[in-house]
Amino acid sequence: MSRSVERISSSEIFSLLVMFCIGSTLILPKGSIAGHDSWLSVLFAIPVGLLVAQLYAALSQSHPGLSLVEIGQQAFGVWVGRFLGLLYVWYSFHLGTIALKSMEEITRTVLLPQTPALVIDMGMMLLCVWVVKEGIEVLSRCSIMILGAVILFLLGSLLLLGKDMDINNLKPVADVGWKKITEGTTKISIFPFGESVLLLMIYPFLNQKRESKKTAFWAILTAGVLLLVDDLRNILVFGDLMKNIQYPSYSAISYISISDFLERIETFGILVWVFGSFVKVSACLYVSALALAQTIGSRDVGKAYRFLTIPLAILLVEMTQFLYRSHAELTHFATKVWPWYSVPFCVLIPFLLYVVLKIKQRTKKAHHSAE
């Protein structure tokens, strides 16, 4: 693979970015610490996510054609840059295990309770390996179709659950206190919006690099609105009870029943969410393999990342088996630990890269002016 061969359009990276943000998030509680005010946490997290995404896009535009790993080497030199590359290989890989485990848990809980976890994980990973080896173009096009299905299903559920919704479930507004709402906002700003830092590995494939800021803005805004609508639907159905429900989105969909004619459509919901997780796991696997290939300095990055895909996929499945041994353990890590664990990767390192590169650019301009 070479970047001159693989190119993705603004609409393709838009869909990929939206699905990356919502892929494994729709099914999980969002800002649960804020209870029935979690929608406020989601709402306030959207502008924060937009600011962070603009930082990533600005970083990419300042060095068009370079990935996150290559930008790190430009800023700090080859060896420090390679160390940063390894950090992001790990971060992407770790995020992939969380996304895969989340998919596995919901599938075993409500769809295939008797199926061994390893079988579910391997089935998903075979599909992910295929699409990753096919390249970023195929993954991006898959994300367009899956995003369309997600939007249609979300809008359909709003219409069909209208009779079960109660606007009074939103009241009293902000009664849990702004401290909890702010904490929920901070966590959602990182998980999932901040995780889009990994797509800095994919921006170089964009065929219209000047569109990266605009595309990132609309993608994060769309993802935020979808998460907000999903959360509001769940609150309007369950109210304060939502904080005690393991999978509020699934439970809300299970309420749909129209005259004994349209029932049990939650199975379709699970399939939509599983395919959403497929996009996120595939993107994490792709970024891990590509970042590792670039970090070790492969001459043919395309060939190297494809070679690395299978061993990384095997390791990812293995790690998923022992890293989180229960749903409670996974939920605790994803909601309590992961957002703070992600801050250096999502905020501190990108901001430091941006500042260092700006200083270098100004120093270089001043040096040329002096000559």
Q: For residue range 277-319, what is the model confidence (pLDDT) as tens digits?
A: 999 999 999 999 999 999 999 889 999 999 999 999 999 999 9
Tokens of 190: 């990182």
| pLDDT(145) > 90 | yes
| pLDDT(262) > 70 | no
Per-residue HEC secondary structure of 66-99 comes to: CCHHHHHHHHHCHHHHHHHHHHHHHHHHHHHHHH
Domain layout of the chain by residue ranges: 10-357
Q: Is the distance from CB of 71 to CB of 202 less than 8 angstroms?
A: no
Question: pLDDT tens, 89-126?
Answer: 999 999 999 999 999 988 988 888 899 999 999 999 99
pLDDT at position 1 is 38
| pLDDT(5) > 80 | no
| pLDDT(141) > 90 | yes
pLDDT at position 290 is 96
| pLDDT(232) > 50 | yes
The answer, as to whether pTM is greater than 0.75, is yes
Mean pLDDT to the nearest integer, 49-59: 94
Cα diameter, the chain = 82
pLDDT at position 46 is 96
Q: Is the distance from CB of 47 to CB of 202 less than 8 angstroms?
A: no
pLDDT at position 4 is 44
pLDDT band at 330 (very low <50, low <70, confident <90, very high): confident
In sequence order, the β-bridge partners of residue 206 are: 8
Q: Is the distance from CB of 132 to CB of 285 less than 8 angstroms?
A: yes
- Domain 10-357, CATH 1.20.1740.10 — does that match? yes
